[in-house]
Amino acid sequence: MERRPRIGLVTSNQDPMGHGCPPTWGVGHNYSRAITQAGGLPWLIPACPSDPAALRAIFEDLDGLCLAGGHDIHPESYGQERSPLCRRHDRDRDRVELTLTRWAVAEGVPVLGICRGMQLLNVALGGTLYQDVAQEYSPWLDHDCFPGPDNAHQRSSLIHHVEMVRGSRIHDALERPVAPVPVNSMHHQGIRGLALGLTATAHAPDGLIEAVEHTDHAFVVGVQWHPEELVMEHASMRALYRSFIAQARYRALARYGNAALRAS
């Protein structure tokens, strides 16, 4: 049996479920499902920054890192004061993911950043964010299209298109589409100052960055949309995960040789 590539997926802090219940860590099901369907093994990581040695030991076992969506990244992480437009934060998760991302980029571990995850990748490498896109960047294209009682949006609703750079890693990973790609959109923050080493490889119609990649790595890619919500209906999104898992598999082979093809 093949040793499936181990893909780190950091959890977020959840509110207690009821009176007397302790806080919990959790992650959306579809992140793990998309990784599993593409041949990877989701490796859930607690958002606990208090034991760096334990975090490093977890990292050493990873073949890839998936940065999922979630709460706003605290602006302190990119040198700004918190705006009233910011929403909920998870400082523990910020610290864990920033640490893991910097290690991954420094040591050649494949990374896929999704929504907040793309923003986190940018912040980890020195970039900055719009704390609220509608107020600070573009008032005419609504990026904040979460499902709600006052609209008909679903998490899989295609909201706008993204134009990709031909020949980029994201373009190749999506199997080289010849037309702009329709995507969902559930975010109110976005990349403002692009980090050194990252290149913007897709944009929304209003010019907001929708995909980035690291120029010096085989697969360090971030996307602003949520491909995990689109894999069931869209072959290109399944292809994105397959490309990510393939790079994680190559890393495992480079580290362990043929032992990576045997059951762990």
pLDDT digits (tens, 9 = 90+) for 228-252: 999 999 999 999 999 999 999 999 9
- Which contacts qualify for 96-100: CB closer than 8 Å, 24 or more apart? 96/10, 96/45, 96/46, 96/47, 96/48, 96/49, 96/55, 97/10, 97/67, 97/124, 98/123, 98/124, 99/49, 99/52, 99/55, 100/8, 100/10, 100/45, 100/55, 100/59, 100/65
What is the rounded distance in angstroms from the CA atom of residue 47 to the CA atom of residue 116? 15
Strands 190-191 and 129-130: antiparallel
Domain range for 115 is 6-261
Q: What is the pLDDT at residue 137?
A: 94
Residue 44 lies in a domain: yes
pLDDT, the chain, mean: 93
Report the number of distinct structural domains present in the chain: 1
Look up the CATH number of the domain holding residue 24.
3.40.50.880
pLDDT tens-digit series, residues 164-185: 999 999 999 999 998 999 999 9
Q: What is the pLDDT at residue 26?
A: 87
pLDDT tens-digit series, residues 138-157: 878 999 998 988 888 899 89
Residue 66 lies in a domain: yes
Residue 1 lies in a domain: no
Which segments of 152-234 does DSSP mark as H helices, in order? 169-173
pLDDT tens-digit series, residues 60-71: 999 999 999 999
Alpha carbon of 17 to those of 21, 24, 30, 69, 203: distances in Å? 6, 8, 21, 21, 39
Instruction: Indicate if the pLDDT at residue 261 is higher than 60.
Output: no
- % of the chain with per-residue pLDDT over 70: 96
Burial of 62-101, coded b for 16+ CB within 10 Å and e otherwise, reads bbbbbbbbbbbbbbebbeeeeeeebeebbebbbbbbbbbb
Instruction: Indicate if the pLDDT at residue 72 is higher than 80.
Output: yes
Of the listed 66, 86, 89, 115, which one is catalytic?
Answer: 115
Our answer to whether residue 66 is catalytic in this structure is no
Our answer to whether residue 171 is catalytic in this structure is no
Residue 198 lies in a domain: yes
Our answer to whether residue 210 is catalytic in this structure is no
Q: What is the pTM of this model?
A: 0.94
Q: What is the pLDDT at residue 120?
A: 98
Which runs of E-coded beta strand occur in 97-180? 111-114, 129-130, 160-164
Tokens of 134: 């509608």
Residue 31 lies in a domain: yes
CB 240 within 8 A of CB 246: no
> Average of pLDDT values for 187-196?
97
Of the listed 86, 228, 229, 234, which one is catalytic?
Answer: 228
Instruction: Indicate if the pLDDT at residue 264 is higher than 70.
Output: no
Q: What is the pLDDT at residue 239?
A: 97
Q: What is the pLDDT at residue 44?
A: 97
- % of the chain with per-residue pLDDT over 90: 84
Residue 17 lies in a domain: yes
What is the rounded distance in angstroms from the CA atom of residue 241 to the CA atom of residue 38? 6
User: In DSSP terms, which residues pair with 162 in a beta bridge?
Assistant: 181
Of the listed 160, 171, 187, 226, which one is catalytic?
Answer: 226
